[in-house]
């Protein structure tokens, strides 16, 4: 930098005023900061995956239950064979309802939690096996339909269920209740091996004439299958919530690899719906 003029010499032997250099540097920095969420959502930030999670339980009562449409977030200790079935015969390949579903979950492979996914053709009220056995299922949706959906006709005809093979325990549902949702609503997530999850915002909703208690839990060490086990411990608690409630974290909540986290809710009285939405920035540890 020239002391008399305050001008700075660039590496390419051109000059720039120091004030302009500082301004431009700060402008570029803040532009990167402000653009980061959008670029990450576009998939343009290596090692970062943005996940928008949302859950709903339409029948919360006075006992704590997962904020998931089925009322469950199953957490077995080993891979489990699953199947998908509908309550309507039209939800079938070449039918007038849902034809295929896409699922995404975790499978234990060589001691690691690995993301697996696939598309499955439906067969109406006859169960169809998922190609992958899973230890966690955190998302699935209708991938194709025989209906060009509109406000009067949704993408599936019946209630869709993923359950353990042989009509076993229900893992998740997609309901045709008022209107076909075509999307799972699972208010929980499990971090794959080799990743760390950061949650920056959580939003809850409950009917304005009801009071709810909401708990967020974490359980680390998913693959620890013998005592002593890792505890399922509280992350945050909201009491007597009504209407809509949002928490923004200046310093995001951090969840290490192989950690379950999710939400339980209950109402002070009566029964009603409750929802939760949360934003995850999944970052590769590699």
Domain assignment of residue 28, given as a range: 7-41
> Do both 51 and 30 map to the same domain?
no
> Do both 172 and 196 map to the same domain?
no
Q: Distances from the Cα of 258 to the Cαs of 101, 111, 114, in angstroms?
A: 26, 11, 10
Which of these three, 145, 180, 215, is where a domain ends? 180
Which of these three, 149, 180, 211, is where a domain ends? 180
How far is the C-alpha of 243 from the C-alpha of 275, rounded, in Å?
A: 11
* Number of helical H runs and strand E runs in the chain: 1, 20
> Do both 56 and 192 map to the same domain?
yes
Q: Is the pLDDT of residue 21 over 80?
A: no
Task: Report pLDDT digits (tens) over 243-278.
Answer: 998 999 999 999 999 999 999 999 999 999 999 999
CA 252 from chain centre, in angstroms, equals 16
> Do both 127 and 204 map to the same domain?
no
Task: Report pLDDT digits (tens) over 31-86.
Answer: 454 566 667 667 777 777 889 999 999 999 999 999 999 899 999 999 999 999 99
Joined together, the tokens standing for residue 253 give 């909540």
How far is the C-alpha of 48 from the C-alpha of 149, rounded, in Å?
A: 33
> Do both 35 and 100 map to the same domain?
no
Residue 73: inside a domain, yes or no? no
> Do both 248 and 192 map to the same domain?
yes
Q: Which CATH number characterizes residue 63's domain? A: 2.60.120.1330
Reported confidence tier of residue 26, pLDDT bands at 50, 70, 90? very low
> Do both 234 and 214 map to the same domain?
yes
Average pLDDT, the chain: 89
How far is the C-alpha of 45 from the C-alpha of 215, rounded, in Å?
A: 32
Residue spans of alpha helices (H) in the chain:
18-42
In total, how many domains does the chain have?
A: 3
Question: Based on C-alpha coordinates, what's the Rg of the chain?
Answer: 24
Burial, 59: exposed, middle or buried (Cβ in 10 Å; 0-12, 13-18, 19+)? exposed
CA 224 from chain centre, in angstroms, equals 23
Residue 72: inside a domain, yes or no? no
Joined together, the tokens standing for residue 16 give 């720039």
């Amino acid at each position: 930098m020239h002391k008399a003029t305050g001008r700075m010499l660039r590496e390419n032997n051109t000059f720039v005023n120091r004030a302009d250099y500082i301004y431009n540097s700060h402008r570029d920095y803040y532009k990167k900061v402000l653009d980061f969420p959008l670029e990450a959502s576009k998939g343009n930030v290596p090692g970062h995956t943005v996940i928008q999670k949302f859950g709903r339980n339409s029948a919360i009562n006075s006992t704590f239950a997962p904020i998931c449409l089925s009322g469950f977030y199953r957490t077995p200790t080993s891979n489990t064979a699953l199947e998908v079935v509908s309550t309507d015969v039209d939800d079938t390949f070449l039918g007038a309802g849902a034809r295929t579903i896409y699922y995404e979950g975790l499978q234990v492979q060589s001691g690691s939690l690995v993301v697996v996914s696939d598309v499955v053709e439906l067969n109406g009220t006859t169960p169809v096996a998922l190609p992958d056995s899973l230890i966690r299922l955190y998302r699935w949706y209708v991938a194709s339909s025989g209906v060009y959906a509109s406000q009067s006709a949704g993408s599936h005809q019946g209630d869709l269920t993923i359950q353990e093979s042989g009509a076993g325990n229900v893992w998740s549902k997609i309901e045709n209740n008022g209107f076909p949702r075509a999307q799972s609503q699972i208010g929980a997530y499990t971090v794959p091996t080799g990743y760390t999850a950061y949650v920056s915002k959580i939003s809850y909703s409950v009917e304005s004439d009801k009071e709810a208690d909401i708990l967020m839990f974490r359980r680390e060490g998913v693959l620890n299958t013998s005592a002593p086990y890792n505890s399922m411990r509280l992350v945050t608690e909201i009491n007597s919530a009504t209407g809509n409630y949002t928490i923004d974290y200046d310093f995001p909540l951090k969840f290490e690899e192989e950690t379950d986290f999710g939400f339980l809710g209950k109402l002070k009285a009566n029964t009603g719906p409750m929802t939760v939405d949360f934003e995850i920035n999944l970052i590769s540890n590699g």
